Every structure is written in structure tokens, then in C-alpha cells.
Chain A
């Protein structure tokens, strides 16, 4: 098992999620020979170069063929291997969408499908590579668990939890080199159990992925100005933690959702649907922040977060606007 301290958390942040993913997976595969790493020719981009050298029999490059990746992964999962398969988010969710639907959804083959660099992490590579609809697509497929870890340590916790689940998991990685650190010490992570990072308040931010780290910074700066805002790390998008969500919808006037996704079908939509179906008495307004229903103008990762209001400055701005409107 990998342990955590402040120094390691910072080192992982400097390496970025993809390099750290490869390192973690190698560690897991050394401990358990049934752990396999597959990739649709993004092994190096998944930090798996060392893995493929050290454990070549536990590594498969299925070619630039994402449908094939999902099919082979599912057959291996059927044979009781612990399969972790990587490609970029739009290729995992849309290019291979029907294979995901048939194999992971309909057949429930317990593949861990890892979407690298989802959201806007690929910056200048642009909308062809952005993961801005993947949550919507995966949410629509019955029987999938969708997780979106906030930082590298949570990714490690999440990979281990997914490995022991006998059902399919879509693991959505966001963030790049220098991503924000959320966790510096060990904590109890469970798939489906949200983390309340700052107590639920009249304004509560609910987020997932590396946006949680940006929100954490925003919340600290707002606090310094005497504005208290709640913060929930909803790292599992499906199934939602209804217990925490009920508290949020009960106590908050404003639920502010920030995510690297379009506002169509992401966590914001999931919360609106939940509120509509189960918490109609809630007075909370749900604000969805992400890309509007568009392919946004492209620049580097920081530019994307800045222009879409998903960095800590943007999150603060949105919170202040909501408060000043009241």
C-alpha cells in the first residue's frame, strides 16, 4: 500500500495525474498479478512505460482502436482479471460508447475504464480531445459507477476501491502537472460516499475532479473575507451520495456546482434531477457552472479554466455574485 504525507502529495501534484497513475498501477500490479494495464496506444501518456518494461505480460497495447480496447478489456475481466484500461475521455465515452454500453453496461463486465485528461486538461489539443460530454454519456448507461477523484491520493484510493468492486467503473481523471492538492493525510474513502470538506452552508459548492482543489482555494480566500461557504467533494457522480445531497438541499439556499464538463448532463444535471425527483420541498437554487452548451474557444489548460470560470478566481467571482444578488 502507498502511504501519504505532505511531501508526497506535493511531489504527486508536480508529476500530474497521468504519471502518477502509471506509478500507482505498477505498484498495484506488483502486489497482485491479476492486475492488468491496457491502453489504446496511450501507455506512455498513462505513465505506463515503466510498467510495460517491468511487467510486460500484464500490459497490452490494443492499438489506436478504442472499441477493441473495451472489448478485449471486457473479455479479460470475464476471466477474473482486474483490468484497468486507458484512453482519452471522448474516445472512451463516445468512440467506444456502444462497446461500453454492451460490455460494461448490459453485460456488467467489471472493467475499470480510465479516462485520461478529461475535462479541459489537454488544453491546446482542443475540443477533439476534451472530455466535456463523458459524464453525461456514462450517466445515461445503466449500471455504471462513475468516479472523479479530486487529486492524486484520492485517485490511488479510488483505483484500489475500484479494483475490489466486481462491477464496471468509469474513472475520470482531470488535472495536469501542478494540479491542486486536496488531501495531505489519509482518510476514509468509499465509492459513493461524498466528502464534506467545509461544512454545508447557505451557499454550498458541490464539485468533482480537480475542480475541488480550485474550489478549496476559493473557499479559503472567501473565508478570509468573512464569507463562509460549504464545500462537498462529490467524487462519485453515480451513484450520488443521497445522504449528503439531502443535507445540502435541505440547508443551502444556493448549491453551486462547478465541473469541467458542459452543463448538459454532468453533476449539475444529476443534482437537478435528484432535487426534482426527491427533494421538491427544497428551496435551494442549483447553479451549474462549466462550459455552456458549446465547444469553447481553446487555449492552454489555465486559459480554459480562467475563461470558463472554473479556477479559484472564477469560483470566487461566481460565489460573490450569488451573495450580492441576495
Chain B
């Protein structure tokens, strides 16, 4: 994909997030969904192997949204790249729908795992990566999308240690480092603790990247994919709420509802009224 088409798909995904959040009429986790959009554009646009006509293909890569509450960004990306129909996507946060505020495993729909309880995706993905290695399927990889807030969970570090110990190199973790958690700034990694060095000392191959720079993301994914002997983590520095001026770095939009007035305001800002 070209830089132009990455920008186009990111815009498209952000538009789908906002429109769907508005249409469902409920609060949704907007900040963390918007912060990972550019990462998903590159991942679904140029990195992940999948077959839109056979979502359970035995040759597919695995994507797990460990920061499960940001599911709207994930579904919008699936819809954008042809992995999810409009009919399914439009049921987001409707009563009785399969698509709620956290992913629910549904292999037919291409959703690999149930999440929402943070800090669990990495061990699960590590198990799948080990399974691929046992089956000599080193052509397949597992990608886990996490948040820096999620990395407060101790279970993340149990998995991180194990993945390095087992020398798994078909496992790529991406941390959407937007710096904010539910209550505000993620002070755990904002002071004396150097987030990058934790991963490094846990034995991971660490790549730091601007999480809104498509070219930089793509080269990080390529490097992670070709790296051997230990797992890679991409620490993608992002802005929570990216793409809507008043949502950027504003934690009021961690989980909130888009009213008709706000919706109009966003369309206006994006120049969608021409």
C-alpha cells in the first residue's frame, strides 16, 4: 500500500468509529480506539495474512486485541479491509448483538478471542505462537495489540518473561503507548520506570516508533517479522483520541457518548459538509 492509501484507510477507519459510536447512541471507548487507528491501517493493510473469503483459513496470521475495550477501532478496521460486512458492523452495541464493547470470540466472524479483562492476550497469543512452532508453521505469526495502561497488569510480565524464555520469534506485541489510562496519566511509566528498558530487560527485541507514522510503522513491522530468536515488541507512541481535535489527549473521551451536536462538530472539523 502507498502512503496515500494508508492515510485514506486511516481516515476511513476514524470516520467509521465516529459514525458508529454516534449511531449506537451509547458511550464507547473512543480515545483508545482512535489512538491505534494508524497502527491498524498498516497492520491490516500490509502486514497481516488473511483471506477475506475464508476468515478461518489455516494459513492466516492471528490478531488479538488484548486492550479489548478499544474494540470499535478493531471492528472499524475489519470493516474497512473487508473482513466484516456492513450488516454485521452496524449491529455494534445494539441489544443482543454479537458486537459489544469488548471482543467476543467468534471464529466465523474472524474474532479470535474474547477480551476485556486486561493483560490476558499476550499469554494466549504466546500459546498460539508456540503451537505454530510445534507444527512447523513458522510462516504464520501472532500479533497482540496492547495498551500501555494495560501493562500495569502483572500477568503481562508473566507472559513477557515466558515468551523470551521460550525464544518465540513469531510473536509480535504492539503497545499503543497513548500515555493515558482510565483515571488519567499512566504515571507508572511516566517517572522513574523506563518502559522501553523493561521490555528490553525482559529479553524482547524493542522497536520504538511514532504510532501515527505509517512508513515508520511499516518498517517496524517488517523488522519485527524478520527478527529471529526472540519476540519483538513495537512501542508505538500515540495520541489518545487522535484525529478529532478536542478528543486528542483529552481523557474525557476515554469512554463517552457522541451526541448529535458533537457529531456535527466532528463532521464540520473534517470538512465532510462540502
Contact = CB atoms under 8 A, between A and B. Distances in A.
Contacts of B219: none
Interface of A: 57, 60, 62-63, 65, 67-68, 70-81, 98-99, 101-103, 106-107
Interface in B91-130: 104-105, 113-117, 120, 122-130
B123 A81 contact: no
Contact of A72 (B104, B115, B126): B126
Interface of B: 104-105, 113-117, 120, 122-132, 134-135, 154-155, 158-159, 161-162, 165-166
Contact of A71 (B154, B159, B165): B159
A72 B113 contact: no
A71 B120 contact: yes
B165 A63 contact: yes
A62 B130 contact: no
Contacts, number: 89
B130 A76 contact: yes
B201 to A, nearest CB: 16
Contacts of B124: 71-72, 74-75, 78, 103
Contacts of A67: 120, 123, 154-155, 158
A78 B158 CA distance: 20
Contacts of A63: 158, 161-162, 165
Residue in A70, A72, A76 whose Cβ sees the most chain B Cβ within 10 Å: A72
Contacts of A80: 131
A5 B116 CA distance: 50
Contacts of A106: 104-105, 114
A60 B158 CA distance: 14
Contacts of B129: 75
11 contacts: A62-B162, A68-B126, A68-B155, A74-B123, A74-B127, A75-B128, A76-B127, A76-B130, A76-B134, A99-B120, A99-B155
B130 A107 contact: no
Contacts of A98: 117, 120
A79 B112 CA distance: 12
A221 B176 CA distance: 67
Contact of B135 (A71, A74, A79, A103): A79
Nearest to A65: B158
